[in-house]
Chain A
Amino acid sequence: EAQVTQNPRYLITVTGKKLTVTCSQNMNHEYMSWYRQDPGLGLRQIYYSMNVEVTDKGDVPEGYKVSRKEKRNFPLILESPSPNQTSLYFCASSDSPWGEQYFGPGTRLTVT
């Protein structure tokens, strides 16, 4: 089954404790993105990757890091989480930048 998976689905952590949210897709897609979704603000792109080892900032990259060492995986790293990073996070992939994006199930992160 074609899918984008994210782990964990729910995470509660404390300020400053490094965390990683994993994202994996099995569709051989080149383009992958991370978004955060907040009430009233919609989906905002954090980082995107055009292909392996090619990543770039989206609209709200501050406080986040990503890597793309393999085509299928695109982890999101919060090295020192803060409460304003409490949000619902989605990973997405598509076979081209302008194509249909397939979204993962989401990760709800709470930073206290």
Chain B
Amino acid sequence: QKEVEQNSGPLSVPEGAIASLNCTYSDRVSQSFFWYRQYSGKSPELIMSIYSNGDKEDGRFTAQLNKASQYVSLLIRDSQPSDSATYLCALYNFNKFYFGSGTKLNVKP
């Protein structure tokens, strides 16, 4: 079983809608969680980090963490075509990082 699971997509949403990206993980000990965005042909860049249960908001982005259910999600409000990218969920556990395979998001104008 993979440490981090994501739906590969593509997830298509119209411009202005809310995009919801989900991620589940297998190790209950994991403490730190991250969402990275990767444009085609580019390197990943951090969007959000979240360490405790609940919601964390940063501009149009909200990360949600539920450790009991072992999932972390990313909501993108007012989605823009520039948000079209692959979103990678990652967790940090005992000095190592584990990434999901990513969800491709398409925001249609």
Asked, given contacts A98-B32, A101-B46, A105-B43, whether A42 binds B88 with beta carbons under 8 Å apart, the answer is: yes
Q: How far is the CA of A100 from the CA of B49 in the complex (A)?
A: 8
**Bound-state Cα–Cα, A97 to B34, Å:** 12
The answer on a CB contact under 8 Å between A56 and B95 is yes
* Cα distance, A100 to B48, chains bound together (Å): 9
Complex CA distance for A49 and B34, rounded to whole angstroms: 20
Assembled-state Cα–Cα distance A90/B41 (Å): 12
What residues on B are CB-neighbors of A105 within 8 Å?
42-43
Q: Determine which of B8, B96, B99 lies in contact with A48 in the assembled complex, contact meaning CB atoms within 8 Å.
A: B96
CB neighbours (8 Å) of A98 from chain B are 31-32, 92
Contact of B99 among A42, A50, A56, A104 (CB under 8 A): A42
The docked-state distance in angstroms from the alpha carbon of A6 to that of B45 is 16
Contact B95 A48 (CB under 8 A): yes
Which residues of chain A come closer than 8 Å to B99, judged between CB atoms?
A: 35, 42-45
CB pair B43 A103 closer than 8 Å:
yes
> Whole-angstrom distance from the CB of A63 to the nearest CB of chain B?
18
Within the complex, what minimum Cβ distance (angstroms) separates A58 from chain B?
Answer: 6
Find B97's partner among A40, A45, A104, A106 (CB 8 Å cutoff): A45
Do the beta carbons of A42 and B44 come within 8 Å of each other?
no
Query: In the complex, what residue of chain B is closest to A56 when comparing beta carbons?
Result: B95
Name which residue of chain B comes closest to A39, CB basis: B101
Q: A42-B101, A45-B96, A101-B34 are in contact. List 10 more A-B contacts (CB 8 A).
A: A43-B44, A43-B99, A45-B99, A59-B96, A90-B44, A97-B92, A98-B92, A100-B46, A103-B43, A104-B43
B→A interface (CB under 8 Å): 4, 6, 8, 31-32, 34, 42-46, 49, 88, 90, 92, 95-102
15 contacts between A and B (CB under 8 A): A42-B4, A42-B6, A42-B100, A45-B98, A45-B99, A48-B97, A50-B95, A56-B95, A58-B97, A59-B96, A90-B44, A97-B92, A98-B32, A101-B44, A101-B97
Closest 7 CB pairs of A and B: A42-B101, A103-B43, A43-B99, A100-B46, A98-B32, A42-B99, A98-B92
